[in-house]
Structure 1
Amino acid sequence: MIDLYTAATPNGHKASIALEEMALEYQLHVLSFDKKEQKAPEFLAINPNGRIPAIVDRDNGDFAVFESGAILWYLAEKSGRFLSTDAKQRSVTMQWLMFQMGGIGPMQGQANVFYRYFPEKIPAAIERYQNETRRLYEVLNTRLTQAEYLAGDYSIADMATYPWVSAYEWAGVSVAGLEHLQRWLEVVGQRPAVQKGMQTPHSQQPKEDSIGTAQSMLVK
């Protein structure tokens, strides 16, 4: 049994999608940002960084894993699915996973904050992060001219990237003209496990006045 500590954010949905895709049994624990439950001592014992998602594998000595990319990697190893054992193919998957972790997540997260939540509008900051997010989308689009999924076969790289890119409108970023990225969004979004994972917990846009919720999205 996996204990999943999460909330309805793109990073949280990465983990729930992976658990659904891999058909791993899990217990859902939804944390309230308004109550600062992610900063409670019992959760900090699981994730010292005080961010979601995090998991505890009860079948592996109560082993805790935090950071969303590390969680996907761990679950893929545990299930033996969505991460190739071939060294080259495995590396391709990890490269695109790191691309999401180091690029799309942080840049789109900042776009979310400055576009939606920051107390004052700073046009230069909004433009900077929206433009960089769009540039990263264009990289994805180019890749998807060469392959159906980011690593060739459907993998944890797609699971990590989909929850962020599917929220492009919330960040004020356009996918116009990126036909291969649009195709990928449609194909991945039609997967039953992705649909269930995106609703676990139930997805809802954060409150306009809740900058704390926005900042929780900035974790890679």
Structure 2
Amino acid sequence: MYTLYFAPTANGHKILIMLEALGVPYRIHRINLALGEQHQPDFARLTPHGKIPLLVDHEQALNLPESAAILQYLAETHSRFLPSAGAERYGVLHWLAWQVSSLGPMAGQHYHFIHQGLEGNQYARSRYQDQTLHLFNTVEKALTGCDYVAGAYSIADMAIYPWLRIHGQLQVDIRALPNVTGYLQRMAARAEVLAAYAKGAALAAPPPVQVQAGMAAG
């Protein structure tokens, strides 16, 4: 049994996709980032990083932070979505490392400058915008003649897709990126992706308003 400490972010959805694809039993513990729950002592005891996602493997008594490490751990534990050896294995790990070292940080900073409404520092804004566009174009080239970034569907796709999926929020126009457009459509149609985002959306929704008995609706 696994417990996933989760928030409905790109990084959080990576692990939900993997767990759904594996079909293993797990439960979700929602961490409300807006309320700062990632900094609370109970969560800090599980991870020194103070961020999601975090996977707890109860059978192994293992608390594992960092999305790339979690994806690789699950892939190796269940012998799925990561080749066991050779060039194919390192092709997947290359793209996994690329996501956590390049796409995530650059797109994340770009998102911050777009949505925080901060004035000034045009150099930083332009740099992150240009780098994010460059990284989308990198995926466009990699997908030439391929359905998935490392050839066969893998944990690399589970890591990359959630960041490409928010292209609208990143103000990236994908109309000139036909390979990325097709990739997003293929990924979005996968059963585990549909299930992961449905669960993420349910957790992101505000709780229902409780109406006391005997009170009429206004």
TM above 0.5, one fold?
A: yes
Partner of 2:208: none
1:143-182 alignment runs, 5 A limit: 143-182=142-181
RMSD: 1.8
After TM superposition, the structure 1 = structure 2 runs for residues 43-54 of structure 1, keeping only pairs within 5 Å, are 43-54=43-54
Contact kept in structure 2, 1:114 and 1:121, CA below 8 Å: no
Q: Give 1:47-62 correspondences, 5 Å limit.
A: 47-60=47-60, 62=61
Report percent identity of matched pairs: 36
Partner of 2:74: helix, strand, or coil?
A: helix
Matches within 5 A, 1:106-121: 106-121=105-120
The corresponding residue for 1:198 is 197
C-alpha offsets along residues 71-122 of structure 1, whole Å, 9 cap, x if unaligned? 1111111111100113211100000001111111000000100011143254
Contact 2:19-2:26 at 8 Å conserved across structures: yes
1:22 aligns with 2:22: yes
Amino acid at match of 2:95: W
Deviations 1:181-206 (A, max 9, x none): 1111110110010111123321799x
Q: Which entry has the higher C-alpha Rg, 1 or 2?
A: 2
Contact 1:163/1:198, CA 8 A, preserved across alignment? no
Counterpart secondary structure, 2:33: coil
State yes or no: 1:2 paired with 2:9. Answer: no
Give the letter aligned to residue 25 of structure 1.
Answer: P
* In structure 2, distance between residues paired with 1:189 and 1:84: 23
Query: Which is bigger in relative contact order (C-alpha 8 A, separation at least 6)?
Result: 1
State the aligned residue count. Answer: 205
The answer to whether the 8 A contact 1:3-1:29 is kept is yes
Which residues of 2 match residues 33-44 of structure 1 at below 5 A?
A: 33-44=33-44
* Letter of the structure 2 residue corresponding to residue 147 of structure 1: C
**SS across alignment from 1:27:** strand
Structure having the larger proportion of residues in helix = 2
Conserved 8 A contact 2:30-2:203: no
The question of whether the paired residues in 1 share the 8 Å contact of 2:107 and 2:170 is answered with yes
Question: TM-score scaled by structure 2?
Answer: 0.89
Is the aligned partner of 1:188 residue 2:190?
A: no
User: Gaps spanning 5+ residues in structure 2: where?
Assistant: 205-218
AA aligned to 1:40 is Q
Provide the residue aligned with 1:92 in structure 2.
Answer: 91
- The TM-score, its normalising length taken from structure 1, stands at 0.88
Structure 1 regions of 5+ residues with no counterpart? Answer: 206-220
Q: Deviations over 1:104-143 (max 9, x none)?
A: 1000000100011143254332221111111011111111
1:162-194, Cα deviation, whole Å (9 max, x unpaired): 011000110112212111111111101100101
